[in-house]
């Protein structure tokens, strides 16, 4: 078997793992009795199917997989960003790069939440909804804007790494990279060492990707065994509206931006996102998916490392268009359920708060709901309303994470192109192949 077909095999295996997980998890749930479990007596000992499979095998397998990905995030972001910054010929480029990335991220988030508000006002998902839930939601305290800005600067970089605080790590890595580039011969030596470490960490990412079919299987099996479809029945309009808008944003907004701002074929990017999308979907976390997103941007989309190493981690933290879409629809939905009319000022407030909230919070599962609490408080809507959508949020969380990472890659590609450092040979290479090629290293086009 050729290396190429072996690699294509991997995507197929990941997809099979995903569907097998869904089917086996669903079958397991169907086998449970009213207690939500099925207990067998084997040689006089009680054997809980739920305990063995869901809390046991699926839980352990899935958690090990997610932890293995998360374990790479901090070293990968730090090392690759230091390499990226120090390889910039002109450090002043960094300001421009940052400006473009943040500007585009904020623009797409504003667009996303605006579309969501307009669509929800037209569709009215909350009309006729009867509150019959007993679920409760206790919001965590969201940080204020001043604190978000102060918190970007680490007082202790080791602590920032230990906590995985992405913005603080970015600030420290950028400074480190700039200083390293200014240190002449010594700096060059350290840079070489960083380059080598970077290659090694990237290799670990590729090794973990080989394990993805199993990891994805465990995650999906646990999800399918524990998701109760009954929760969906009275909230279907909300669910499908958010779902539809997420798909629309990924298939219309991003491709339009790619065509208008970078003159690239958007279909290529969407197809090349397939593995990253499955990781994002099954992990529900842009942060945990970051190693894969970074590898995809650099080695499949041809985004130069100086751009990818900065723009992708930044995006995993501040760019959450999918989450903003959910917040827009959820705010209107909750307002309609509680019979509150939102004024134009309220709607503008929602756009502003949802965008700021997306900047201040990290991409981890369920964080969208914490941000939603912030948005609701801003326009004086009852935060308890979140309980209405809690039961079905997980599936939407998975889907919006896919949109979030697709947005990160789209913006990184546009910024790279605008800086004249997108390797279009890599970008245009066969989108169905899973081969990872470093920018500038496509066969026959080495530069
Ligand atoms: N899970 C999402 C992410 O990591 C954030 C959210 O919407 O809750 O991107």
CA of 323 to the centre of ligand 1 (A): 6
Q: What is the pLDDT of residue 407?
A: 97
* Total of domains in the chain: 1
The answer to whether position 75 is within a domain reads yes
CA-based torsion, 388, 391, 392, 396: positive or negative: positive
User: 116: domain range?
Assistant: 3-442
Mean of the pLDDT values across residues 422-446?
70
Pocket mutation for ligand 1, best pick of 66, 287, 315, 367 (most atoms within 8 Å of C-beta): 367
Q: Which atom of ligand 1 is nearest to the CA of 320?
A: 9
Mean of the pLDDT values across residues 40-64?
89
Contact 211, 16 (CB under 8 A): no
The answer to whether position 307 is within a domain reads yes
Verdict on whether the full-model pTM lies above 0.95: no
The answer to whether position 383 is within a domain reads yes
Contact 25, 58 (CB under 8 A): yes
Averaged confidence pLDDT in the chain: 86
Burial group, residue 293, by CB count within 10 angstroms (0-12, 13-18, 19+): buried
**Residue 407 Cβ contacting ligand 1 at under 6 Å:** no
Among the listed ranges 25-34, 52-61, 221-230, 396-405, which one has the minimum average pLDDT value? Answer: 221-230
Confidence of residue 446 (pLDDT cuts 50, 70, 90): very low
Nearest CA, atom 3, ligand 1: 363
The answer to whether position 447 is within a domain reads no
Partnered with residue 48 across adjacent β-strands are: 39
The answer to whether position 86 is within a domain reads yes
**Residue 216 Cβ contacting ligand 1 at under 6 Å:** no
CATH number of the domain residue 162 falls in: 1.10.3860.10
Pocket mutation for ligand 1, best pick of 140, 219, 290, 320 (most atoms within 8 Å of C-beta): 320
Contact 125, 238 (CB under 8 A): yes
The answer to whether position 18 is within a domain reads yes
The answer to whether position 293 is within a domain reads yes
Pocket mutation for ligand 1, best pick of 70, 105, 250, 400 (most atoms within 8 Å of C-beta): 400
Q: Report the chain's terminal Cα–Cα distance, integer Å.
A: 30
Report d(CA 262, CA 416) in Å as an integer.
Answer: 9
Q: Which atom of ligand 1 is nearest to the CA of 367?
A: 8
Q: Which atom of ligand 1 is nearest to the CA of 363?
A: 4
Confidence of residue 135 (pLDDT cuts 50, 70, 90): low
Q: Which atom of ligand 1 is nearest to the CA of 362?
A: 4
């Amino acid at each position: 078997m050729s290396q190429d077909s072996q690699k294509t095999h991997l995507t197929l295996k990941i997809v099979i793992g995903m569907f097998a997980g869904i089917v086996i998890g669903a079958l397991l749930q169907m086998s449970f009795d009213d207690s939500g479990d099925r207990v067998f007596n084997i040689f006089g000992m009680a054997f809980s199917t739920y305990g063995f499979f869901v809390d046991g095998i699926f839980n352990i397998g899935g958690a090990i997989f997610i932890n293995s990905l998360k374990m790479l995030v901090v070293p990968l972001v730090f090392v690759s960003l230091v390499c990226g910054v120090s390889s910039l010929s002109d450090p002043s480029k960094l300001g421009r790069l940052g400006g473009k990335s943040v500007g585009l991220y904020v623009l797409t988030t504003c667009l996303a939440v605006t579309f969501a508000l307009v669509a929800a006002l037209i569709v009215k998902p909350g009309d006729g909804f009867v509150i019959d839930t007993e679920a409760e939601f206790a919001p965590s305290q969201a940080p204020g804007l001043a604190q978000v800005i102060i918190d970007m600067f680490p007082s202790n970089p080791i602590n920032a790494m230990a906590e995985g605080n992405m913005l603080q790590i970015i600030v420290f890595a950028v400074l480190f990279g700039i200083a390293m580039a200014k240190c002449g011969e010594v700096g060059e030596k350290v840079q070489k060492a960083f380059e080598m470490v970077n290659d090694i960490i990237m290799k670990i990412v590729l090794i973990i990707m080989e394990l993805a079919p199993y990891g994805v299987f465990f995650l999906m099996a646990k999800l399918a065994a524990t998701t109760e479809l009954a929760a969906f029945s009275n909230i279907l309009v909300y669910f499908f509206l958010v779902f539809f808008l997420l798909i629309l944003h990924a298939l219309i907004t991003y491709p339009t931006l790619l065509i208008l701002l970078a003159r690239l074929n958007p279909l290529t990017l969407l197809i090349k996102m397939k593995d990253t999308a499955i990781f994002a979907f099954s992990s529900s976390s842009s942060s945990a998916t970051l190693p894969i997103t970074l590898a995809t941007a650099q080695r499949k989309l041809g985004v130069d490392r100086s751009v990818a190493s900065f723009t992708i981690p930044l995006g995993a933290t501040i760019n959450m268009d999918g989450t903003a879409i959910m917040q827009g629809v959820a705010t209107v939905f909750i307002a309609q359920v509680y019979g509150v009319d939102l004024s134009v000022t309220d709607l503008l407030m929602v756009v502003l708060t949802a965008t700021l909230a997306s900047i201040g919070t990290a991409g981890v599962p369920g964080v969208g709901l914490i941000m939603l609490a912030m948005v609701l408080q801003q326009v004086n809507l009852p935060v308890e309303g979140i309980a209405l959508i809690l039961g079905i949020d997980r599936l939407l969380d998975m889907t919006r994470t896919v949109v979030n990472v697709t947005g990160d890659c789209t913006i990184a590609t546009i910024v790279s192109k605008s800086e004249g450092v997108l390797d279009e040979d890599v970008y245009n290479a066969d989108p169905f192949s899973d081969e990872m090629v470093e920018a500038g290293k496509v066969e026959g086009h080495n530069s």
